Copies of this chain bind each other. A is one copy, B any other.
Amino acid sequence: MTEPIARKAAVLGAAGFTGKELLRILAAHPLFEVSHVTSDKHVGKTLVETFPDLPRPKKNLTFQLHSDPIPQDAFVFLATPNEVSLERVPELRKKGHRVVDLSGAFRLHDPAQFKEFYKLDHNAMDTMKECVYGIPELYRQKIRTANLIANPGCFPTGVIFPLSILQEFAEDMVGVSIDAKSGVSGAGGRVEDGGFSYSSVYENFRAYKILGHQHWPEIKEYSAAGKLADKIVFTPHLLPLFRGILSTITIFWKKMPELAEKFAHACEGEPFVRLLSAPEDVQLARIQHTNYIDVGIRSRGNVTVIVTAIDNLVKGAAGQAIQNLNLMAGLDETLGLV
């Protein structure tokens, strides 16, 4: 193993669900150490008092402001709101930091779409030019040398790789319905206000942001090299549980290709993809707290159903960010990951 390029890590937005998961994973990473954490809300409090349920940190850091100076040479994760990332990422890049941004700020290339779905003006399209979309299963080589990674959204992570296996058959599909169900930690701050009281989630279930969720254009842009953009529908739902996303992808075919071998081939050797023989075995309990994406597939008549599951906080956010970090740092990409 070569000496890692960087060993210090800064986590901006470390007090949210995703930031906390980054801290949890980095605490067990053999080569990186968190040396800087920020939270505008928790500024001045320490890690130990804020997260009594986390492993005891090597250093009991105190939360800084997002805008506070960051240790030189630190590798930087941003688990910040979109508008914070939009502002901070270009600055950090100018100072030479290598960056993984977990917000949605640098995923879409079309400013008009960004405006429509994020309600923000994108004033940093220049920065996007050097940005690599961080799905290791598809862009492993580019990630290794990248200085800026847009870490994919949780919902896109569950579907882009499986759909990309079908890229050459894009013409034969007439419709692709993605029905995704997420735990509360995945729906995060993205559902309308007041929707997260216990009484409104417990013993309840509903769809949200129907035909208007910001992950829809992201899925269209990156699935099958964009060839399915006008065929994909994406509907997210809120599950009464904490962790995990299960996506049911239904494909209507003009003419169904042979798929089994395609999938077996594409998943072979992927350290974090598990192709299961029965799609009913794809379930949240098997992937929670892991970096796996589980995939199952079945066809009948002119229809294929693909079921995938990820932990939205791990493979759908912090775990994939660490996988990207490992690649950028020239390390084994599984380091520190379960």
Inter-chain contact A211/B300, CB cutoff 8 Å: yes
Cβ 8 A contact of A283, one of B204, B246, B301: B204
Binary per-residue interface labels of chain A (280-316) against chain B in the complex, 1 for a CB within 8 Å, 0 otherwise: 1011111111101010001111110101000000000
User: Which chain B residues border A252 with CB–CB below 8 Å?
Assistant: 174-175, 177, 233, 252
A157: interface (CB < 8 Å): no
With the chains together, A246 CA to B292 CA distance in Å?
A: 28
Inter-chain contact B235/A204, CB cutoff 8 Å: no
User: Which chain B residues border A197 with CB–CB below 8 Å?
Assistant: 196-198
Min CB gap A140→B, angstroms: 19
A244: interface (CB < 8 Å): yes
Inter-chain contact A274/B179, CB cutoff 8 Å: no
Inter-chain contact A285/B237, CB cutoff 8 Å: no
User: Which chain B residues border A185 with CB–CB below 8 Å?
Assistant: 199
Inter-chain contact A210/B240, CB cutoff 8 Å: no
Min CB gap A302→B, angstroms: 8
Inter-chain contact A242/B199, CB cutoff 8 Å: yes
Offer 14 A-B interface pairs, CB within 8 angstroms, sorted by A. A52-B294, A53-B285, A174-B174, A175-B252, A179-B179, A202-B202, A203-B203, A203-B241, A204-B283, A204-B285, A207-B246, A210-B279, A211-B299, A240-B240
Nearest 10 Cβ contacts at the A-B interface? A206-B283, A175-B252, A179-B179, A177-B177, A177-B250, A204-B285, A55-B338, A198-B201, A211-B300, A52-B286
Q: Mark A residues whose CB is within 8 Å of B.
A: 28, 52-53, 55-56, 174-175, 177, 179, 181, 184-185, 196-211, 230, 233, 235, 237, 239-244, 246, 248, 250, 252, 274, 279-280, 282-290, 292, 294, 298-303, 305, 307, 338
